[in-house]
Structure 1
């Protein structure tokens, strides 16, 4: 009988246990104060807000153009 499956299972269990922080069980979220990419997430959110404003301005310009061309 081969011991490879048993050793593989033991290794995976050890790795998963070792990687567990033992603290917050919810994982990484944008509200986690220890988030590794906290600054990058802030910048992405800011970029989404800017994109939304740009799209809204483009829609408003198009409505104005359409209204004036009637």
Structure 2
């Protein structure tokens, strides 16, 4: 009894699938290992100074309808 030969399309599909999976895994590994290039401006790193506008609060509390 002779063994039947695997069709070309089946071999091609398996080889293509393996190639795509390996390529995707390698791209994910490259992306995860790469250090991000983040540049933060000096204005962003300065401390935030919060000030209360007392006149606005007084006007808001004294407005009619509350």
TM-score by length of 2: 0.45
TM-score by length of 1: 0.43
Which has the higher Rg, Structure 1 or Structure 2?
2
More helix by share: 1
